[in-house]
């Protein structure tokens, strides 16, 4: 049976491919991520289809702009009824505050459950060399911690970070803060472009509330079997 802590990333570029995967995975997955590839190809129908199937939806569009634009965009996205949505923490305090206010206000107007907002910190494909190259002054760990603190202060519900930073964020931001970690690789999978990654059970032990897993499931020869192996690994963690 599915586990809401596992979010499967539907990184495909058509509604048909998405539906095929969702059918294949059946009741082994209850939470899906719609990211840029699928949303830019299929639009809001992708979210609607998943909600109609009774699935939870993480709408990962990583919004990043000036506060007014972000607030209005988050307002529009709130109407789609996703459970989780992302914005970039590096957009700063005022941008995150605008988003936090917009999502609360719009959900109250529509009388719907409020989507939870997550601030993306430092992408899991970035290592220390790549971080320095783009001007990172502090270590990745310090920078992620700083963004997680700022996000909480701005009224954001959680962060997207690598599993490496989960423990410190959990200690700092408390038990209710959402810590969503991509960069998850079961022992049977290859790393691809991920640089800061660990296994599903280790990420949960370190304090992650949800794990985002894409290719280890979706590109597996048997996606349902891969999902079930992951579910077995995290049982009891």
**What amino acid positions are annotated as catalytic residues?**
60, 62, 65
Nearest distance from C-beta of residue 228 to ligand OMP, angstroms: 17
Q: How far is the CB of 162 from ligand OMP (least distance, A)?
A: 7
Residues in contact with ligand OMP by the rule CB under 6 A: 9, 11, 35, 60, 86, 120, 123-124, 160, 182-183, 192, 194, 212-216
Least CB distance to ligand OMP at residue 169 (A): 14
Cα–Cα distance for residue pair 8/30, rounded to 1 Å: 9
Q: At what angle do helices 93-110 and 67-78 cross, to 10 degrees?
A: 30
For the chain, first and last CA: distance in Å?
Answer: 15
CB nearer ligand OMP, residue 105 or residue 170: 170
Question: What is the Cα–Cα distance from 179 to 163, expressed in whole angstroms?
Answer: 9
Which phi and psi (to 5°) does residue 197 adopt?
Answer: -140, 160
User: How many angstroms separate the CA atoms of 74 and 167, rounded?
Assistant: 29
Q: Which residues are annotated as a binding site for substrate?
A: 11, 33, 60-69, 124, 185, 194, 214-215
- Binding residues are 11, 33, 60-69, 124, 185, 194, 214-215
Query: 126 with 90: CB under 8 angstroms?
Result: no
DSSP class per residue in 126-154: --HHHHHHTT--S-HHHHHHHHHHHHHHT
Q: Give the whole-angstrom CA distance, residue 131 versus residue 91.
A: 17
Least distance (Å) from ligand OMP to the CB of residue 59?
Answer: 11
Helix (H, G, I), strand (E, B) or coil at 28: helix
Closest residue to ligand OMP, Cβ-based? 214
């Amino acid at each position: 049976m599915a586990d809401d802590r596992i979010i499967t990333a539907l990184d495909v570029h058509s509604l048909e491919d998405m539906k095929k995967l969702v059918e294949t995975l059946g009741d082994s997955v209850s939470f899906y991520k719609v990211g840029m590839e699928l949303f830019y190809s299929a639009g809001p129908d992708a979210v609607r289809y998943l909600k109609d199937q009774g699935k939870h939806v993480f709408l990962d569009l990583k919004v990043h702009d000036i506060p007014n634009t972000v607030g209005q965009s988050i307002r529009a996205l709130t109407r789609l009824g996703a459970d989780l949505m992302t914005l970039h923490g590096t957009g700063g305090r005022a941008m995150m505050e605008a988003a936090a206010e917009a999502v609360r206000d719009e959900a109250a107007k529509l009388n719907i459950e409020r989507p939870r907002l997550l601030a993306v910190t430092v992408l899991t494909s970035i290592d220390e060399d790549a971080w320095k190259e783009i001007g990172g002054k502090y270590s990745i760990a310090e920078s992620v911690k700083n963004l997680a603190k700022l996000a909480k202060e701005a009224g954001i519900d959680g962060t997207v970070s690598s599993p490496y930073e989960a423990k410190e964020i959990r200690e700092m931001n408390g038990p209710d803060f959402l810590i969503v970690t991509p960069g998850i690789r079961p022992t049977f999978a290859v790393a691809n472009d991920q640089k800061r990654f660990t296994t599903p059970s280790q990420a949960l032990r370190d304090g992650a509330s949800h794990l985002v897993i894409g290719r280890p499931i979706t590109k597996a020869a048997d996606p349902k079997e891969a999902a079930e192996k992951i579910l077995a690994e995290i049982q009891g963690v």
